Every structure is written in structure tokens, then in C-alpha cells.
Structure 1
């Protein structure tokens, strides 16, 4: 992983501006976040690039000067991707509003060639890269969590599904405030999801709360599970992925 360098030099054009966002804490986070850059070469796949990321004062990550060359009119746009890593966190690569797919392993973007006489014509907007808690995330003491595993119910032996999105949504009963908790499975298909907010209750004074968990591998490949707390606290839950 490449370390960040401060934005001390001239602010050249960057083909991408990425803002790491701690989804659990609901805040921008750049400290402790590493970024690696790859370039796609037809016939060879993704090739690591020795290009250092720059962290701007606002917390965005950029690659100033990437794509700058002597004769840009003889070059074609090249596909790149940025891969994020942070202790206790896993990156969620689809942009907000885009469908989830577990095989997306970076933020992909085109790098257009340019020089001083031929500036880029493509407008670049900052984009959030959400970082979700992993199974090793240091939740605050007392945080309610459920643990389990996501498996592929359509294959023999029900193998684990890595990098599956596990989430729960709901709203509080008193002020009807919407909440959304989510995490990603690790290489073993394991997950640990926090449930900080109130679940569904049969009555206002009921002790049990119901949560509906959804796991997604890609569009059309999902699974669901109902968890009741505190009744199901401490159990190892299994979410089965099937074709929908």
C-alpha cells in the first residue's frame, strides 16, 4: 500500500477525488487509510502502479498529474482502480445508489491523457468511499452485535461467501428516525453486525425486538434472516444466498 503525501505541490488535475468515509462513525476518515492504485492492461489484468496518493486538506484522496504526458493526442484513456485498506474496516466500492456486487474490488475510473496545451475536458466530482466495520472492528463497549456466516446454498457443501454485504434497516418507534447498519463478510464468509438501534416490537412495552437481516452477493443473489433479541443473542446465525 502507498502512503499518502501532503498536498504541498501545485494542485494538478486528478482524474479522481475519493473521500474515505467511516460508515459506522458517520464521518470522513483519512487517518489510518491506505490506498493502492492499479492499471488495467488488456490480456494481463490489473497491474500495480507505483503512484503515491495525495491527501488534501479536506480529507480527499487524489492522484494529481495522473494521465499527464508529452503527446496526449496519441494516447487512449486507461482504466485504473483504487483499492482501500484500513484496520478494522472493509471498503464498500459501489457508489451510493448503485447495486452491490461482491466481485468489485476497487473504485474503477478512466484516466484521460492531457498536457498543458490540451487540458482535460472531463469534470470530476468527489466521491465517498464508505468503509464498513469488519469482524475485527473495535466497537465501543456495550454495543449490541450479532455474528454469523453467509453461505452459498446453491452449491455443494454450502461454501462461504466472501465480501457479501450484510445489512439491516429500520426506524425507531418514538421519533420514526430511519437507521441503517451494514457490514461485509470476511474471506471465511463471517460477519459481525452492530444493531445499535431499536428493532420492531409487537407492543411498545415488549421486551423482544425483531431485526431483518439481508445479505447480498450481487443483484439476484441474496439471502434473508430474522433475528429476535435478546432471544437470539449469542447464536451463530447463518444466512443462505440463493437465486432470487
Structure 2
């Protein structure tokens, strides 16, 4: 579990708290995080942009104070979502604790009604929103990367917003590592591989990395990459139905 600073819950009630986390840098992201709030309209069966401003606490949490405050008799909980935008980074939806689905466009939550005589329900726990390097992420000098595209195995159509990842353990001390990124609208990805892969015996010396791509549960693909011999190859990961 990732640790982050406690959220300063003010006297104002917020139905949801979000903590943006830069996964590549391994730290909470406090600057240059833009958010957009949408409300689900059941009559239109769609999302409607809202003008409700967010606040940021000193520990970089994002909240929407007093969202849900209304006095209408018999008011029902309302469904909202928050969309995150950060230059060079791509938000991983949903927030921590649920399965990945490339079709999601934000982190959803409910705002339960309250007023001066009916207090809000129990306070919500802060939710970590992970920000992964996007296709245009400015990797520093010396960072090894591989690139390619994620496509549907049958239609060959590119898969946008697919989760591409690699994991393993370091050779010397056995420490687990993981690198992740998201594809762009054209299915393209660029993934950093800062750690060691599995060594392959024999000249030339190479290391093997196992890449996986996920569109949603039951829709995944896999590919084996050997470095440095395949460093400049355009890798194609095919998504299949399991």
C-alpha cells in the first residue's frame, strides 16, 4: 500500500477526497494537476460538466466541499466523476481498489444530500489517483524505454487507454519492481524499463522483459521483449478475449 500525507479534513464536508500520485517519481503530485467535475444526469443518460470548484489542501489532496448540500425534500444521492489532466502524465482510472477498465473516463463517487438539520454521512477516505507516464512523458537522459502499439487481435484496431506494464525482481537483491504506462488515442505506448530483466545465457548478452497490456478484465495481451537487441523495434501487443 502506498503511503501519503494525511488529509486535512476541514469543517467543510466533501463527499470525496483525491490524492494525485506521480507513479514514476514515486511521490504525491502537488503542482499542475487540473481537474474537471461532471454530474451524471439520469434524464439525459450522460455526464454534464459542472462549474463547482475544487480545493487543494496543504498535503495536495483535492476535495469538493459542500457538494451534496441541498434542502430539497426527499433528495437522492447524486453521481459524480472527476477527470484529471497533467501534462506528460495519464491518470489511471479508477482510483486504487478497483479493476482497471480502459473505457473509464474519471473517478466516480456519490454525493449524499445533507442540510443544516440533517448532517452528512460518515466521512470519506482519501482515494489515491495514480498518474502514469504518457506517450509524451519527458524521460530523463539514460532512461531505457521501449515503444510500440496495442491492437485488437481480430480487428487490428488500436486500443486507446490500455494499461501496459512490466514487472520483475532485481537480480542482485530480489527487490520487486514494476513499470506502467497508458496508450494514447492511437494505441501507441512508450514504457520505461529502468530495472533488470531476466538474463539470457549466450552471446550476445540480453535480458528478457515480459510486457502485458490490459483493456479490461478478460481482455489482455502479452509480449516478450529482449534488450538490447530489440530496443529499437516497434513492438505490437495484441489484445485477446480470455
* TM-score tier (shorter): over 0.9
Match of 2:40 in 1: 40
Q: Name 1:66's counterpart in structure 2.
A: 67
Question: How far is the alpha carbon of 1:46 from its aligned partner?
Answer: 0.2
Q: What residue is the counterpart of 2:218 in the other structure?
A: 220
1-structure distance, mates of 2:78, 2:97: 25
CA distance in 2, matches of 1:138, 1:55: 26
Q: Does 1:78 align with 2:78?
A: yes
Structure 1 outlier segments of 4+, above 4 Å: 203-206
Q: What CA distance in whole angstroms lies between the structure 2 residues aligned with 1:131 and 1:206?
A: 36
| Partners of 1:11 and 1:82 in 2: CA distance | 22
> In structure 2, what is the equivalent of residue 57 of structure 1?
58
Q: CA deviation at 1:120?
A: 1.2
C-alpha contact 1:16 1:62 (8 A) present in aligned 2: yes
Normalised by the length of structure 2, the TM-score is 0.92
1:43-192 superposed matches below 5 A: 43-44=43-44, 45-71=46-72, 73-155=73-155, 158-192=156-190
| C-alpha distance after superposition, 1:30-80 (max 9, x if no partner) | 201100000001132000000111000111000001111134x42100000
Aligned equivalent of 1:29: 29
How far apart in 1 are the matches of 2:103 and 2:195?
30
Q: TM-score normalized by structure 1?
A: 0.91
For residues 232 and 202 of structure 1, the distance between their equivalents in structure 2, rounded to whole angstroms, comes to 14
- 1:95 is displaced (CA, Å) by 3.0
Deviations 1:184-235, CA, capped at 9 Å, x for gaps: 0000000000000111113599831100000000111100000000010111
Gap runs ≥5 in structure 1: 1-9
1:200 to 198, 201, 222: 198
Residues 134 and 191, structure 1, Cα contact 8 Å, conserved in 2 = yes
Q: For the Cα contact (< 8 Å) 1:223–1:241, is it kept in 2?
A: yes
Question: 1:181, 1:195 within 8 Å by CA — same for their partners in 2?
Answer: yes
- Provide the aligned C-alpha RMSD in A: 1.6
